[in-house]
Amino acid sequence: MEFGMNFGPSGLAPYEAVCYYSGLPSRPRLVARTGVEWTEDPQQEMWSYHKYLSSVEDHPIVELWKEDQPLPHLIMKALASLPWVAIDVLRVGVFHFDNTIPVVMLVTVEPGETRWAIADLIATNCKNILTQFGITDVEVEIKESSYCCSTLSDSDTSDNVSNVSDPPPRLYSGSPDVFHQYPLDKLVQDLRHLSDCIGTRIRNDATPSTTGTKGIYLNVAPANPHIWTFEPCTAALTCRRVVFRGKDDSGKVYHWDGQVSTRQFISQDTGVSDIAHKIEKKLIEEGKRVNRLALFSLKYDSGQHEDQRTDLEDEVYEISRQADAARAARSILDMTHEDTSIQIGHVLFAQELSTAFPRTSMSSSASSSQLSPATYTRGSWLRDYALVQVSGEVHTRPAKNRLPINYDKLRKKLDGSVPEYPRRKFTGDATEGNAVLSSEVVPDGKAGKRRVVGKFGVHGLTFGFVNGVKSVIRKRQIHNVVDEHVAWEICVVSTDRVNSSAFSRGSDSGSAIWDLKSRVLGMITAGLGDPATSIMDTTYATSMERILQDLEASGIKATLG
């Protein structure tokens, strides 16, 4: 795509639109911005032009960019004519060690819907508003990116579901050491989705092409039996968009009414429909290679050909290790099941997809359409969660919020991803080497401070910084009418500055985020990025405290398992 073809006459420098955000995971396209003239030429010096996002802590805008302050509402008013989807206040700049990068107000618009002439005028107006509040060192940038719900599967999932069997298939509850011993073996790592740990891939049997993450286990019971009656049970928390597919979702509250015919069955998507064949093939091939190399090594004695013999022995050792990994994978399959997916339960409750207010007893039937635009942006958050009642038949041990990582691996990951932080001990109980999340929830009031958080979802373990400023997101939901949801959510950016790694990607929706004391902070709901690659530049999460309070207001008492 040639520069400028979507924007008409442009005041941007050559290559600026397409190269301005080089370094960001999805490389979004710049539409307009305030500030000095762009002088970099990334085609000549790409090595020196590597932008990244970081969090904002100590800056005057932190206190001014809050739900009850006038600044954000004046900015939103100035953006009224733009198809904006999010406003983030972040540090954005070129990577240099020991360099403080500038604070920028990032306004994200839908791709291809905004021309430079309009965006440039609006960016200037927003800059003037910031100046009126004494904020003179924050520039305004308008970029293109998509609001992604992170639920589209990028696996080779088929339409098969679990077959009825006797006994029913179960989740793997053995030692997690098998996953730690073979960290680079794809067969073994794919099998973690067979485990009873959180952070595994789930899907609705009715819509198998859409997947998300089993976020966290909750112990749930009726808060008021007169409103809703069901037996106390274990439920997995995830996003509503994981259990109900986008345009087919009515957006209304879902209560399971006790009838089998109305159940929305949820399966844990193992993605191993043909893994048994691959395992057997690998074992046969590795066995032949070991025998061939063992015979070949006899040609070399321990004296004259010591180096050649040692190289062969090292190769035999590596092949044997790979064969051991295949045997370990085979043993896990033998203990569980070989279907594409294992049915773990059914949807118990899905909250209405609407905006709500923190710390209220707002009825679950209230929606943003009942609130005036001047009101619902003040502290509102987007309800996008659901509970999956977990069948006891699929667990061989009590459900617990175990992560399929051990302490040593976690500390090594922290050393690499967060170099400015010393080694920190991940607290919580340890079972068979697992890291286990604490039952403590971080209050929402503390979620707006920068901290290192972790996530283990469909795409594995990542670490990020919680921004000191919440982001404002706008989502248009089309059912019979168009509902516009404006919400304030926690924003997380990756700690990995050098490798342009994203904190979350497609199918990570529903993942719990937790701090280095193992306390749960929130649940991932969406992000901004490229839907074609499922890579997110920024990740949005809803406070876990808000979700638990909203559940209780809806008639469900929930605590972390």
pTM value is 0.83
Within a domain: residue 156? no
Q: Are residues 26 and 74 in the same domain?
A: yes
CA distances in angstroms from 401 to 127, 128, 428, 434, 435, listed in the order given: 45, 48, 10, 10, 9
Domain boundary (319, 335, 351) is at 335
Sequence-distant contacts of 281-285: CB under 8 A, at least 24 apart: 282/187, 282/322, 282/323, 282/326, 283/323, 283/326, 283/327, 283/330
Whether the per-residue pLDDT at 301 is higher than 70: the answer is: no
DSSP label at 226? T
Say which range, 57-66, 86-95, 441-450, has the weakest mean pLDDT.
Answer: 441-450
Q: What average pLDDT does the structure give for the chain?
A: 78
Q: Are residues 224 and 346 in the same domain?
A: yes
Q: Are residues 216 and 95 in the same domain?
A: no
- The whole-number average pLDDT for the span 46-67 is 83
Q: Are residues 553 and 410 in the same domain?
A: yes
* Model pLDDT for residues 182-240, shown as the tens digit of each residue: 555 666 667 778 888 899 999 888 887 788 999 999 999 998 777 778 889 999 999 99
Whether the per-residue pLDDT at 176 is higher than 70: the answer is: no
| Selection from 103, 162, 175 nearest residue 402 by Cα | 175
Distance CA 28, CA 110 (A): 11
The DSSP line for 185-214 is -HHHHHGGGGBSSSS-EEEETT-TTBEEE-
Whether the per-residue pLDDT at 372 is higher than 50: the answer is: no
Within a domain: residue 429? yes
| Selection from 230, 292, 237, 281 nearest residue 259 by Cα | 230
Within a domain: residue 149? no
Distance CA 83, CA 450 (A): 29
Q: Where are the alpha helices (DSSP H) in 163-274?
A: 177-181, 186-190, 240-243
Structurally, how many domains does the chain consist of? 3
How high is the pLDDT of residue 168?
A: 64
Q: Are residues 200 and 255 in the same domain?
A: yes
Q: Are residues 300 and 199 in the same domain?
A: no
Whether the per-residue pLDDT at 35 is higher than 70: the answer is: yes
Within a domain: residue 392? yes
Within a domain: residue 479? yes
Q: Are residues 292 and 362 in the same domain?
A: no
Domain boundary (125, 144, 163) is at 144
Whether the per-residue pLDDT at 394 is higher than 80: the answer is: yes
Category of 27 on φ-ψ map: left (φ > 0), alpha (ψ -120 to 50) or beta:
left
Domain that holds residue 410: 177-269+342-560
Q: Are residues 318 and 265 in the same domain?
A: no
Q: Are residues 230 and 289 in the same domain?
A: no
How high is the pLDDT of residue 273?
A: 61
| Structural contact between residues 479 and 250, judged by C-beta atoms closer than 8 angstroms | yes
Within a domain: residue 165? no
Whether the per-residue pLDDT at 100 is higher than 70: the answer is: yes
Whether the per-residue pLDDT at 493 is higher than 80: the answer is: yes
Within a domain: residue 155? no
Within a domain: residue 168? no
Q: Are residues 101 and 230 in the same domain?
A: no
Percent of the chain that is helix, strand, coil (3-state, to 5): 25, 30, 45
Whether the per-residue pLDDT at 16 is higher than 70: the answer is: yes
What percent of the chain has pLDDT above 90? 31
Q: Are residues 201 and 60 in the same domain?
A: no
Q: Are residues 363 and 264 in the same domain?
A: yes
Local structure of 544: helix, strand or coil: helix
How high is the pLDDT of residue 59?
A: 92
Domain boundary (289, 308, 335) is at 335
